[in-house]
Amino acid sequence: MRPLTQQWLQRYGWEILPHPARSPDLAPSDFHLFGPLKRDLGGMAFETEDDLISELRNWFDNLDVDFFRVGINSLLSRWQKCIDLHGDYVEK
């Protein structure tokens, strides 16, 4: 973690928790982003890498800000479950 980030976390009294091994359920990209991305772009074929990049940019540009808010906010309950289970948490 970068020193400025550490200073900010310390200033606001945030506790830094170690990320449990094999817990993709705690990575917003895994539990909140990739499912909708695969659903919306799944099965598409792209002629070039630039076509793929263009489609991805378009997909992200059209996401509502609440999409990201929901993903980040759900971390609270996911982390709490992980803490309560001493790191053994896996979302089913």
- Predicted confidence at residue 84, as pLDDT, reads 84
| For the chain, percent of residues with pLDDT exceeding 70 | 86
Nearest in space to 31 (alpha carbons), one of 62, 88, 73: 73
Cα distances (angstroms) measured from residue 26 to each of 21, 66, 76: 10, 19, 10
Give the confidence band of 82 by pLDDT, cuts at 50, 70, 90.
Answer: confident
- Contact in structure between 43 and 62 (CB atoms under 8 Å): no
- Contact in structure between 55 and 43 (CB atoms under 8 Å): no
pLDDT (tens digit, 9 = 90+) per residue, 47-72? 999 999 999 999 999 999 999 999 88
For the entire predicted model, the pTM comes to 0.61
